[in-house]
Amino acid sequence: MEPIKIDGSQGEGGGQILRTAISLSAVTGTPVEVTDIRAKRENPGLRPSHLAAVKVVADLFGARVENLQVGAEWVRFSPSAGGRFAGGPRRVDIGTAGSISLTLMAAIPAVSLSGNGLEIEITGGTDVRASPTTDYMRYVVSEAYRSAGIKFSLDVLKRGYYPKGGGIVKATIEPCSKPAPVELLNGRAVAPRITSVCSQLPKHVAERQISAALLSLEKSGIKCTNYTASFETAPSPGTSMLVYSASDFGGPFVGGDSIGEVGKRAEQVGQEAAARYLESTLAGAAVDPFLADMLVLPMCLAKGISKYRTSRVTEHLRTNLQVARQVAGCKYDIVQSPGKGEEFVITIQGNSA
């Protein structure tokens, strides 16, 4: 079978194009060839974290991968006949502070939607730039996926920040033969929660992050009484925090995360996380802009029509929808809510519909 050609420079031109393409390839058994990988980035081509994601999925599904090396600007991914799944516990070391979350974003839907379960332990960065924090994955993404029948849990054994990484996350993924379509249109008020973490820094750093976030929420008329500050071990100093609301009764599934960096005050971390949360909450969205992107892959394989409301349409989301249509053959539509300047409804008709 000739591979489907995917232009890696389309839309936002980032690594998500590759991750979505290989995940869908593994589940559907359709070979893909992704060219011009990360062409719009300062350092185009595969980076170690992208390499890790492809290797994990290829290993799990017995796929043949051509040109898999750091810096490669094209990759051909060909799943084995019948989509063989090896299964069994796994250990993966990204080898840098590369994002564990981005690797899981490729592995979780591929494994679960192939009807298989897996325990996998990944070493790398738990909370790093240009990536969802691990807490966002386990408190927001996991709950949203659960509403579609995709169940996974994450256990953070050790935090990992830039530059050393060294964080360890154990993921338990349950099988899902076919995801259920979702209708997440209700942006009803659900009390927020806050989790704030610091490593190799005084605990008051995590507490200051919380105080800043609480103040931002209060200024918008939102009260939060459920918050925790924790000190966790890590090879490098770092901080992260998450402000979120997640309900298993039709949403919302909304989160705002932020990480600490050299020269960035704890108060700024808290304000950033709160601002990202408030963007969706104040707009009445049921899904935040980043989760809207992550829902594309499972929903394009659902048997039925999915609809969800978000506060903003990112270039990541548009690009992911295009890739899903190319590989899985799904249909989609983006409609701005009538009379509302900051709400959009995403409709996806799964390829099994």
User: Region 185-206: what's the mean pLDDT?
Assistant: 94
Distance CA 134, CA 153 (A): 11
Residue 338: predicted pLDDT = 73
Domain that holds residue 269: 193-283
Indicate whether 189 pLDDT > 90.
Answer: no
Q: Which candidate in 148, 197, 316, 346 is catalytic? A: 316
221: in domain = yes
Q: Are 124 and 97 within 8 A, CB to CB? A: yes
Task: Please compute the mean of the pLDDT values over residues 106-113 and round it to a whole number.
Answer: 95
50 noted as active-site residue: no
Query: φ, ψ for residue 114 (rounded to 5)?
Result: -85, 0
What is the number of residues in the chain? 353
Looking at residue 340, what is its pLDDT? 57
Q: Is 270 contained in some domain?
A: yes
Model pLDDT, residue 205: 98
In the predicted structure, residue 353 carries a pLDDT above the cut 70:
no
Say if 213 falls within a structural domain: yes
**CATH at residue 225:** 3.30.360.20
Q: Is residue 62 part of a domain?
A: no
Lowest mean pLDDT among 42-51, 120-129, 264-273, 300-309: 42-51
Q: Are 70 and 93 in contact (CB under 8 A)?
A: no
* Predicted pLDDT of residue 81: 67
pLDDT of residue 105: 96
209-238 confidence digits (pLDDT tens): 999 999 999 999 999 999 999 999 999 999
With respect to residue 110, please indicate whether it lies within any of the assigned structural domains: no
Q: How many domains does the chain have?
A: 1
Residue whose C-alpha is closest to residue 282's, from 195, 345, 342, 211: 342
User: Residue 82 pLDDT > 70, yes or no?
Assistant: no
Q: What percent of the chain has pLDDT over 90?
A: 85
Average pLDDT across the chain, whole number:
94
pLDDT at 341 over 70: no
pTM beyond 0.85, yes or no: yes
pLDDT in tens, 159-179: 999 999 999 999 999 999 899
Query: For residue 173, is it within any domain?
Result: no
Answer whether residue 248 is part of any domain.
yes
Amino acid at 153: S
250 — pLDDT class (breaks 50, 70, 90): confident
pLDDT for 96 equals: 85
Sheet containing strand 64-66, strands side by side: 4-7, 32-35, 75-78, 64-66
Residue pLDDT, tens place only, 56-73: 999 999 899 999 999 999
pLDDT at residue 84 greater than cutoff 80:
no
CA dihedral 347, 243, 147, 131 (to 10 degrees): 70
Please tell me the predicted confidence (pLDDT) of residue 174.
97
Residue 182 lies in a domain: no
